[in-house]
Amino acid sequence: MPDRFLYYGQLSCAFLIWSSWLIPVRYLSINAYSISFLTCLWASVFWGLYCLYKFKSGIFLKKKNLASLFLLACFFILNMLTYLGALKYTTGAIAVLTHYTAPVFVAILAPVFLKERLTKRVITGLLLSLTGFITIFYTADKITEDSLKGALLGLASGFFYALIIIIAKKALLKIKEEFLLFYQNLFSFILFIPFLPFIEINLEVKYIFYLGGLSFIYSVVASKLYVNSLKNVEGIRASIIGYIEPLGTIVWGFIFFQESITIRTILGGILILFSGYLVTTKE
């Protein structure tokens, strides 16, 4: 029993760390492309060195495994850009709660890609999630172009995150978690190269090291805590513990940026989180 609580604690810490992405995104005057590019660069270096140290057989994989990891990296980039973009354009609450439509998207796509059954509970979850999204969208008396853009980016990030979960779930049947994290970040870094015109290359040295530190915290520490505990915690419990992330983001937004938490935001958030609970629990 003590070991189980240790794994629950590790999961909680991982999600709590990820929930604080709002803070550096707002404080650093760097665009989403630059943050994503440098974070992936640092993460690939960290995980590459770790894999070389731990696995004496090397870090090279078969071509068919690399193909799935390359596809994973494509959706990882899309997820990161849309989520960071959502945090830029709208409040942390709206960004993270619309992002948390991901469990519903997973449930919808799972019958096609993972041969899992589509149930009444999944359909109900989808309807609740969409209702929650609409409720959150109307949090303000006057709907601005930025709030609309941020909400839609958050919804898109939820969809891309769902694709990441599905691809990763299949990939982890054949490769180790450390290799997945290394190649995901390495391919993501390579895929960002065509976006160099949008990336701030001439950054101050301190910003480069800031992002190195952030990468270590978010892409190494949090990811390691998550992967290590996920092996020992049931998927249903892990998904429920994951609701710490959106709740944490709302709290960070309130503490650091005085973002208001309205009744509509709370109601919409409850609907989205409850829809995720429905589709990740048994009938």
Give the DSSP per-residue string, 207-229: HHHHHHHHHIIIIIIHHHHHHHH
What angle do the packed helices 120-137 and 102-113 form, to 10 degrees?
150
DSSP structure class, residue 194:
G
State the pLDDT at residue 17.
93
For residues 57-72, one letter each, b for 16 or more C-beta atoms within 10 angstroms of the residue's C-beta and e for the rest, the string is eebebeeebeebbbeb
Cα 30 from Cα 126, distance rounded (Å): 35
Per-residue pLDDT of the chain (283 residues; tens, 9 = 90+): 457 678 888 888 998 998 898 888 778 777 777 888 888 899 999 999 998 888 877 777 777 788 888 998 999 889 888 887 887 788 777 787 788 777 778 777 877 776 767 778 777 877 887 788 777 766 555 567 777 888 889 889 989 988 887 888 778 778 888 888 899 889 988 888 887 777 776 667 877 888 899 999 999 999 888 877 766 765 556 666 777 787 788 788 888 888 777 788 788 878 877 877 776 665 5
State the pLDDT at residue 1.
47
DSSP structure class, residue 59:
S
State the pLDDT at residue 109.
80
Report which residue type is found at 186. L
pTM of the model: 0.76
Q: Tokens representing 222? A: 């949090």
If you write DSSP's letter for every residue of 99-162 in order, what string do you get? HTTHHHHHHHHHHHHT-PPP-HHHHHHHHHHHHHHHHHHT-SSS--HHHHHHHHHHHHHHHHHH
State the pLDDT at residue 209.
86
State the pLDDT at residue 2.
54
* Residue 282 CB partners (closer than 8 Å, separation 6+): 236
State the pLDDT at residue 187.
92
Cα 178 from Cα 189, distance rounded (Å): 17
Distances (CA, A) of 112 to 106, 116, 163, 169: 10, 7, 12, 14
State the pLDDT at residue 237.
61
* Burial of 282 (C-beta count, 10 Å sphere; 0-12/13-18/19+): exposed
State the pLDDT at residue 233.
66
Cα 165 from Cα 218, distance rounded (Å): 17
Distances (CA, A) of 51 to 36, 177, 183: 22, 10, 11
